[in-house]
């Protein structure tokens, strides 16, 4: 039996057979295009792939010097060669080849020509041709996982899963998933948790030893994978899984009990959702509201932006199904690791520091107004609040609020009913916002602390990079001081402060956050019963003691050891 160590991101035990998703395979399909529409679509896909590939090379080039820079220049020249484009398009149009097949064939021809040249320099260019071929194909075959192929009891083994792969996954056939890359707060991990699929990420290269149909035990709590385990190990884990299920059923029985400490302090336990489909889980686990409705998932898994009416229906459905509970709707947070196939953001060297979220919305105001109008309209059907992500300064808040007013004016002029006095809040997930919470508090009705990003930006640790996952630490005293400041300023300015980052659902953090004065904990619905269990079994006075002790400590090692000791 082989054992692989990764990061457990979604608890639970899964037993099943490996379904290995390979990186996009590049092979001639032999498929011939059927009609004119398919021809047009393939030409467009090819042109788009070239554009994205050139942009990507341009960005990489900026960071290079000397020979590397020249290689990139050559590649850009080759990839933009009109002859290559002409040959590919000719094959698509006249020979009815798919863009994929046409690119493979044209590149193979060019390689052959270059290989037969006398000039040594030119012969050496074959590597560049092959390289650009792979680059175009990579963008062309930006394929999604065909989840329909999953056999029952599959454990998905993949390099990485994009958020849209994860949301479209047919979970009735998937027992768990393990990926080579990723970390606790990568979006695929968050979605897995929301769907209750045990998951382990950041397993590294050892994952490549797994073959299709290998028997796997995946422990999403400890982050371990067991490959081809003995029968008795399987039985041992089946038993463990049964016990975990019973414990979780027991905790679910707390569903209707409010989250009140033994000395009478009430806190609100809410859920993070991606659509109305998640709402049943929220009610079942006793969620009192939605602290974060991630709307961008509506924008994924499609080929164009949803219209105002499509969005309106989506938000209205969530509003209706919320049964009167408050729902914080976050405006679109694309960029970073959340890319849309139809919205071409040129490749960036630092996507998490780049063109993302509110930055896109303030730049492309049409897109923003459409979403705001849809949310305002849906507000007639439930207690919706609006929240802007990735705020770094007060100008952005004011600009976003101005656009919100414009959206209202448009709805008024169109005579369409909407909720005029919808509360407006912001995510505090950038250190500058955390430090200037006193300034920002004057502009908004509420804050929600996004620890996933706050942690990555404060500690300069990419939340997606498994190599540095040990540095991604919400218990770092620097992060805790920022959170404490946000809560203090919220109290001082009498605005509601919640937390919707993953830390809010971490049992180890619950007492500390309660002691700090957090009013709303918003998390994956499945985490609510565990956090509630902690709250109802402790007093606020004890939690304050924990908070005071933690704030005197120097390191996260000391802090986490102390917090663990509170539960023994
Ligand atoms: C966060 O950053 O903590 C957050 C909740 O937003 P997201 O994970 O969607 O970036
Ligand atoms: Mg965020």
- pLDDT of residue 18 exceeding 60, the answer is yes
Nearest residue (by CA) to ligand 1, atom 4, is: 450
Q: How far is the CA of 5 from the centre of ligand 1 (A)?
A: 26
Nearest residue (by CA) to ligand 1, atom 7, is: 452
> What is the C-alpha to C-alpha distance for residues 250 and 408, in angstroms, rounded to an integer?
46
Q: How far is the CA of 524 from the centre of ligand 1 (A)?
A: 12
Q: What is the pLDDT averaged over residues 255-276?
A: 95
Q: Where are the alpha helices (DSSP H) in 142-185?
A: 163-168
- Of the given ranges (170-179, 210-219, 519-528), which has the lowest mean pLDDT? 170-179
- The strands making up 174-179's β-sheet, listed across from edge to edge, are 2-5, 224-227, 215-219, 13-21, 154-158, 174-179, 199-201, 7-10
- Residue 217's H or E segment, with its range, is strand 215-219
> Residue 561 is encoded by which pair of tokens?
């050891």
Q: How far is the CA of 546 from the centre of ligand 1 (A)?
A: 26
Helix axes 308-321, 365-378, angle to 10 degrees: 40
Q: What is the pLDDT averaged over residues 281-309?
A: 92
Nearest residue (by CA) to ligand 1, atom 6, is: 450
182 pLDDT band (50/70/90 cuts)?
confident
Dihedral sign (CA 422, 301, 270, 392)? negative
165 pLDDT band (50/70/90 cuts)?
low
Q: Give the model confidence (pLDDT) of 487-540 as tens digits.
A: 999 999 999 999 999 999 999 999 999 999 999 999 999 899 999 999 999 999
CATH numbers and ranges of domains, the chain: 2-23+146-233 (3.50.30.10), 36-140 (1.10.274.10), 251-264+451-518+526-568 (3.20.20.60)
- pLDDT of residue 207 exceeding 70, the answer is yes
Q: What pLDDT score was predicted for residue 533? A: 95
Ligand nearest to the CA of 338: 1
- pLDDT of residue 171 exceeding 80, the answer is no
List the shell of residues around ion ligand 2, using CB closer than 5 Å. Answer: 429, 450, 453
Residues taking part in catalysis? 187, 500
pTM (whole model) above 0.85? no
Strand pairing report for 13-21 and 7-10: unpaired
Q: Which atom of ligand 1 is nearest to the CA of 190?
A: 8
> What is the C-alpha to C-alpha distance for residues 287 and 202, in angstroms, rounded to an integer?
30
Q: Give the model confidence (pLDDT) of 505-519 as tens digits.
A: 999 999 999 999 999
> What is the C-alpha to C-alpha distance for residues 511 and 505, in angstroms, rounded to an integer?
11
- Of the given ranges (328-332, 338-342, 425-429), which has the lowest mean pLDDT? 338-342
Q: How far is the CA of 477 from the centre of ligand 2 (A)?
A: 20
Q: Do 200 and 220 contact (CB within 8 A), yes or no?
A: yes
Dihedral sign (CA 176, 177, 178, 183)? negative
| Range 217-230 burial, b when 16+ CB lie within 10 A, else e | bbbbeebbbbbebe
- Of the given ranges (147-151, 246-250, 484-488), which has the lowest mean pLDDT? 147-151
Q: What pLDDT score was predicted for residue 364? A: 95
Ligand 1 in reach of 516 Cβ (< 6 A): no
Q: What pLDDT score was predicted for residue 15? A: 95
236 pLDDT band (50/70/90 cuts)?
very high
Residue listed under structure tokens 């402060």: 497
> What is the largest distance, in Å, between two alpha-carbon atoms of the chain?
86
26 pLDDT band (50/70/90 cuts)?
low
Q: Give the model confidence (pLDDT) of 360-409 as tens digits.
A: 999 999 999 999 999 999 999 999 999 999 999 999 999 999 999 999 99
> What is the C-alpha to C-alpha distance for residues 374 and 308, in angstroms, rounded to an integer?
5
Ligand 1 in reach of 337 Cβ (< 6 A): no
């Amino acid at each position: 039996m082989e054992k692989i160590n990764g990061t457990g991101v979604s608890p639970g035990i899964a037993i099943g057979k490996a379904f290995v998703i390979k990186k996009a395979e590049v092979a001639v399909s032999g498929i011939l295009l059927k009609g004119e529409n398919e021809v047009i679509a393939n030409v467009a896909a090819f042109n788009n792939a070239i554009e994205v590939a050139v942009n990507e090379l341009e960005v990489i080039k900026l960071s290079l010097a000397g020979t590397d820079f020249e290689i990139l220049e050559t590649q850009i020249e080759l990839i933009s060669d009109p002859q290559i484009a002409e040959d590919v398009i000719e094959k698509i149009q006249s020979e009815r080849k798919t863009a994929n097949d046409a690119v493979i064939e044209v590149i193979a021809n060019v390689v052959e020509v270059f290989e037969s040249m006398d000039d040594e320099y030119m012969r050496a260019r074959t590597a560049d041709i092959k390289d650009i071929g792979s680059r175009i194909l990579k963008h062309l075959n930006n394929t999604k996982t065909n989840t329909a192929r999953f056999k029952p009891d599959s454990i998905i083994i993949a390099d990485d899963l994009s958020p849209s792969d994860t949301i479209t996954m047919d979970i009735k056939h998937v027992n768990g998933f393990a990926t080579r890359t990723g970390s606790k707060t990568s979006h695929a991990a968050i979605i897995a948790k929301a769907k209750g699929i045990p998951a382990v990420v950041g397993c590294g290269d050892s994952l490549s030893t797994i073959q299709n149909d290998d028997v796997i035990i995946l422990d999403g709590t400890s982050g371990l994978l067991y490959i081809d385990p003995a029968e008795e190990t399987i039985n041992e884990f089946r038993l463990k899984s049964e016990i975990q299920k019973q414990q979780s059923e027991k905790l679910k029985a707390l569903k209707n009990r409010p989250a009140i400490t033994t000395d009478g302090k009430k806190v609100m336990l809410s859920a993070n959702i991606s659509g109305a489909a998640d709402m049943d889980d929220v009610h079942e686990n006793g969620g009192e509201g939605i602290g974060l409705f991630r709307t961008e998932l509506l924008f994924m898994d499609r080929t164009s932006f949803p219209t105002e009416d499509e969005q309106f229906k989506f938000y209205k459905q969530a509003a209706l199904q919320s049964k009167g509970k408050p729902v914080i709707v976050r405006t679109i947070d694309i960029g970073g690791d959340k890319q849309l196939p139809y919205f071409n953001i040129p490749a960036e060297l630092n996507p998490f520091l780049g063109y993302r979220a509110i930055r896109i919305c303030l730049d492309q105001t049409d897109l923003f107004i459409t979403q705001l109008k849809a949310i305002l309209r849906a507000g007639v059907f439930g207690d919706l609040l609006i929240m802007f992500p990735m705020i770094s300064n007060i100008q952005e808040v004011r600009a976003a609020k101005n656009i919100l007013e414009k959206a209202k004016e448009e709805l008024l002029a169109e005579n369409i009913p909407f909720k005029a006095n919808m509360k407006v809040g912001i995510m505090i997930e950038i250190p500058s916002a955390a430090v200037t919470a006193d300034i920002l508090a004057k502009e908004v009705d509420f804050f929600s602390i996004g620890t996933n990003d706050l942690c990555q930006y404060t500690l300069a640790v990419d939340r997606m990079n498994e190599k540095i996952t040990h540095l991604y630490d919400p218990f770092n005293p620097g992060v805790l001081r920022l959170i404490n400041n946000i809560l203090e300023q919220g109290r001082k300015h009498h605005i509601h402060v919640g937390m919707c980052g993953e830390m809010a659902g971490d049992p180890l953090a619950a007492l500390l956050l309660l002691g700090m004065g957090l009013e709303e904990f918003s998390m994956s619905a499945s985490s609510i019963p565990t956090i509630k269990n902690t709250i109802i079994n402790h007093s606020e006075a004890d939690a304050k003691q924990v908070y005071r002790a933690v704030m005197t400590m120097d390191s996260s090692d000391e802090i986490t050891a102390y917090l663990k000791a509170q539960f023994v």
